[in-house]
């Protein structure tokens, strides 16, 4: 499971012109589910995101977590985070989980976030979404539930199985 976390002053997602989720200060989380991901990945990633210290304390250091500042999360599913572009110019999405299992694991991820008490809003899985945000910093972090020491593009197809 891969997540791009952006610290935001505000973010919103619209589907067919209707706002389906909106937050003030917090994180916009773009979430991609990889083939072979499990509930364990969803639980670990959601726990890590809640504990990330990306907000500044009074001296200006990133020492405060989402819960410390009373922030919210907007989760937007995005299978394109699993794209591979190492052959040719057209991305391959063979590392992405199929829609049924990806939807289930997105729900698990959101449920685990909600259990921490953090307010969570969502996009619409599989929809053509329009996402707007006001970056704060900007601060953008990429997390992968499989191996945090590897860069997101380093995971091979074998590891995704």
Which is catalytic among the residues 6, 55, 79, 109?
79
Q: Can 55 be counted among the known catalytic residues?
A: no
Q: Can 78 be counted among the known catalytic residues?
A: yes
129-144 vs 2-15, strand pairing mode: antiparallel
Which is catalytic among the residues 67, 80, 140, 156?
80
Residue with tokens 């990889």: 34
Distance CA 92, CA 53 (A): 33
Q: Can 6 be counted among the known catalytic residues?
A: no
Which is catalytic among the residues 6, 20, 67, 78?
78
Nearest CA to 1 out of 104, 146, 125 is that of 146
Distance CA 103, CA 33 (A): 9
Distance CA 33, CA 18 (A): 25
Distance CA 3, CA 85 (A): 18
Annotated active-site positions, please? Answer: 78-80
């Amino acid at each position: 499971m891969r997540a791009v976390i952006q610290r935001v002053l505000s973010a919103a997602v619209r589907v067919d012109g209707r706002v389906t989720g909106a937050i003030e200060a917090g994180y916009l989380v773009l979430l991609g589910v990889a083939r072979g991901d499990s509930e364990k990945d969803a639980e670990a990633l959601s726990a890590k995101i809640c504990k990330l210290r990306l907000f500044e304390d009074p001296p200006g250091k990133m020492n405060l977590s989402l819960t410390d500042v009373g922030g919210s999360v907007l989760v937007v599913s995005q299978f394109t985070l699993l794209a591979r572009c190492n052959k040719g110019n057209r991305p391959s999405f063979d590392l992405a989980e199929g829609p049924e299992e990806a939807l289930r694991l997105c729900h698990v991820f959101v449920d685990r976030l909600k259990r921490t008490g953090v307010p969570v809003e969502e996009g619409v899985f599989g929809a053509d979404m329009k996402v707007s945000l006001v970056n704060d910093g900007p601060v953008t972090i990429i997390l992968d539930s499989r191996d945090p020491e590897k860069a997101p593009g380093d995971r091979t197809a074998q590891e995704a199985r």
